[in-house]
Amino acid sequence: MTEKGHRAGDDQAPVIPAWVRALGFILVVLVVLLIVMLVLPGGHGPARHLPW
Amino acid sequence: MVHIVLSVGWLGAVVSFLALTVWGIVVPDPRVVATAYLAAEPVVRFAIVPLGLGALLSGIIQSVGSPWGLFDYYWVLFKLMFTAVALVVLLQYVPTVSYFARLAAGDLNNPAGLWSYLLHSAGGLLILLLNTVLGVYKPPGLTPWARRRRDPRLSAGPAPKRPR
């Protein structure tokens, strides 16, 4: 509590931990990659791995 | 307990899939390549997929019935989302594995598809290891909505400024 009667940090936005930001970035990259793979037509079927 | 068994079992099944893949890639023998394709399919169908679905369901049930909650802590939320992404990719990939197994039952001995197996299983393994670390260490951090619910003063928005 401060002298004025309210807790320090009451007016501040909550701090997001650094590890949450890092994992959030990884998750966003994975989801974008997944959506691109699902949305792009062709080129991701089983036969794409075979050169013939 | 059930969730731990299913999650660690899922991780182990992915490792066995990865082992088959690496075996098929490094041994220059067409019979080994075909065997790797054939053996990988039941590992996916009867181990990786059921264990993955079981880990997701048991995790949801367990978190809802515990003080951790499903959406209250960042680490639980991240485990849920990483598991969901891994399962979507996995279920999308099952037809590919079946396709190669059918070809390998014929005369397929081209290891090109095994490189795709390697990419997918290594990526999946990294995600599952990340989930394991989150589950073991449970890093602190409440989500904003959980913080608001637990502290009613925050639900009314930011604290009003006091007049000077």
Residue-wise DSSP of chain B: -HHHHHHHHHHHHHHHHHHHHHHHHHS--HHHHHHHHHHHHHHIIIIIHHHHHHHHHHHHHHHHTSTT-SSSBHHHHHHHHHHHHHHHHHHHHHHHHHHHHHHHHTT---THHHHHHHHHHHHHHHHHHHHHHHHHH----B-HHHHHHH-HHHHT-SPPPPP-
Q: Using an 8 Å Cβ cutoff, are B5 and B40 in contact?
A: no
Contacts of B78 in chain A (CB under 8 A): 20, 23, 27
Per-residue pLDDT tens for B108-147? 777 888 888 999 999 999 999 999 999 999 998 888 888 8
What value does the mean pLDDT of chain B take? 88
Per-residue pLDDT of chain A (52 residues; tens, 9 = 90+): 444 444 544 555 667 889 999 999 999 999 998 888 877 766 555 556 555 4
pLDDT tens sequence across B89-115:
999 889 889 888 888 888 777 788 888
A52 against B60, higher pLDDT: B60
pLDDT at B159 over 50: no
For an interface test with B, give the residue of A1, A4, A16, A30 to mutate (most B CBs within 10 A): A30
CB atoms A50 and B113 under 8 Å: yes
pLDDT value at B76 more than 60: yes
Of the candidates A42, A17, A5, which has an alpha carbon nearest to the alpha carbon of residue B137? A17
Give the rounded percent of residues in chain B with a pLDDT score beyond 90: 57
pLDDT of B83 above 70 = yes
Q: What is the pTM of this model?
A: 0.81
pLDDT of res. B109? 74
Is the predicted pLDDT of residue B73 greater than 80, yes or no?
Answer: yes
Q: What is the ipTM of this complex?
A: 0.75
**Substitution target from A1, A12, A23 for chain B, most B beta carbons within 10 A:** A23
List chain B domain ranges: 2-149
Interface residue A29 vs chain B (CB under 8 A): no
Q: Mean pLDDT, to the nearest integer, of B145-152?
A: 80
Q: Chain centroid to CA B45: how far?
A: 15
Residue B102: its pLDDT value, please?
A: 87
